[in-house]
Amino acid sequence: MSRTWCPLLLLLLGEVQAQVENRVIFLPGTFQNVSVSKNETVQAVVSRIPAEVAFITLQFHTQRHNATLSYTRMPGPGPSLTAVDSGLLSALVPDQVSLSLFLSSPDNNTVAGTGVILPYSSLDPVPGACNMESSLDIDPNVYIHYNLYETTIRFAPANLGYERGETPPVCDESTGTNTRWRLQYDVYQYFLPENDLSERSLFSGIQAVADIQGMMVNGKRVMTLSSSEKSMAVFNSIPSQGVIYSVIVRDPLLNTSASYVPVHTYACSFASTLDGCQTLGKISTKVFFTITGLAGLFVCFFGHRFFKCELFCMGFSFAAFFFFVLITRTTKLDYDIRLTVSAVIGVVGGVLLVMSWWRFGSVMACIVVVGLMLGFLIASTSPLHSSG
């Protein structure tokens, strides 16, 4: 009989231990590092919530991989958000002293991040409570979009605070001073250490500016938006430079404020093998393209005086560009090796074009190479998708 019950007891103990391991207790204002394995859901628990707290935000930040933050154990399209910087706001009901939210990994990757719970009173503005765009009823998140030249952030308008159990104020019924139109939005910017792409640096920065006091002390206020302006801001992109953006909504009448969920960007991709964050700041990249740029200036102003040098530069550019793309698509060589091989092939291409001109005097070969280079340039800078 004992032999029969022992495996069952071990199984039950294992289940209880797994449930404990998948449960993380958050203390208000205290950061908690959380690791979420694939096919795992971690329960984030907040207990002993004071009666004066009217709503709570949970924010969770990772560096590269998305994490899903949801109100339910099984994430749905409505009550959840998947991002590297995600946050959910929970409005509390009377007598509520505990709260549970759930973290999971959507991409079957183990996700490590840092999270924090921030409590707010009924007098504080409610970030994203007048959301009209995303699927969340209340969306305290800042959404970011970047390209090589500019970074754009967007956020949903906030609303006035309210007591537990009360009906939220109407967002757009009027524009008087007793409505959400009196709220103001301070946009803040915080730069991470230069040339530091480490996870530790990001988490230290997030912990320094996640709340109102931290961002006001450590960050830089770059603009203030009124409620009548578009809830967006545009900045210059700095590839490979980590930047954290956040928005603090203020109620000038009650002198209260609340923070949106900070969002970070490096204006580059960690997954790209061509122009990823690790390659843009490499010494080899700077040396190669500095020399290439100087050669381009020489061709621009003195090319026809030194025609064979111009031909060599054109042949080099065409061959190096073509084979760099080909090698990147077909092999998994290290970036520096790819750049070196492409440069060697470019030299061979330049010599072949000069030799072709010297031996055959073919104008067509020169025109084809120059025309292809112009085509590559136009194709890389022009939108080729259909308008429909």
CA angle 17, 20, 22 (to 5 degrees): 110
Residue 175 burial (CB < 10 Å; 0-12/13-18/19+)?
A: exposed
If one counts every other C-beta atom within 10 angstroms of the C-beta of residue 5, the result is 9
**Residue 287 clears pLDDT 70, i.e. is over it:** yes
pLDDT in tens, 13-47: 443 333 346 889 998 889 999 999 888 899 999 98
DSSP letter assigned to residue 135: S
Q: How many helices (H) and strands (E) does the chain have?
A: 8, 17
Strand partners, 186: 224, 248
Taking alpha carbons only, the member of 368, 363, 327, 361 closest to residue 344 is: 327
pLDDT in tens, 249-265: 999 999 999 999 999 99
Confidence of residue 9 (pLDDT cuts 50, 70, 90): very low
pLDDT in tens, 210-267: 999 999 999 999 999 999 999 999 999 988 899 999 999 999 999 999 999 999 999 8
Cα–Cα distance list, 329 to 100, 125, 321 (Å)? 45, 50, 12
Task: Compare 70 and 280 and report the one with higher pLDDT.
Answer: 70
Cα–Cα distance list, 268 to 76, 86, 115, 282 (Å)? 29, 19, 24, 14
| Portion of the chain with pLDDT greater than 70, in percent | 91
Task: Compare 101 and 173 and report the one with higher pLDDT.
Answer: 101
Task: Compare 285 and 264 and report the one with higher pLDDT.
Answer: 264
- CATH no., domain 22-265: 2.60.40.10
Tell me the whole-structure pTM to 2 decimals: 0.76
Q: Would you state the pLDDT for residue 281?
A: 66
Taking alpha carbons only, the member of 84, 92, 5, 79 closest to residue 46 is: 92
d(CA 145, CA 265): 9
Taking alpha carbons only, the member of 48, 7, 41 closest to residue 25 is: 48
**Residue 193 clears pLDDT 70, i.e. is over it:** yes
CATH 2.60.40.10-classified regions of the chain:
22-265
pLDDT in tens, 288-323: 888 888 888 888 888 778 888 888 988 898 899 889
d(CA 159, CA 180): 5
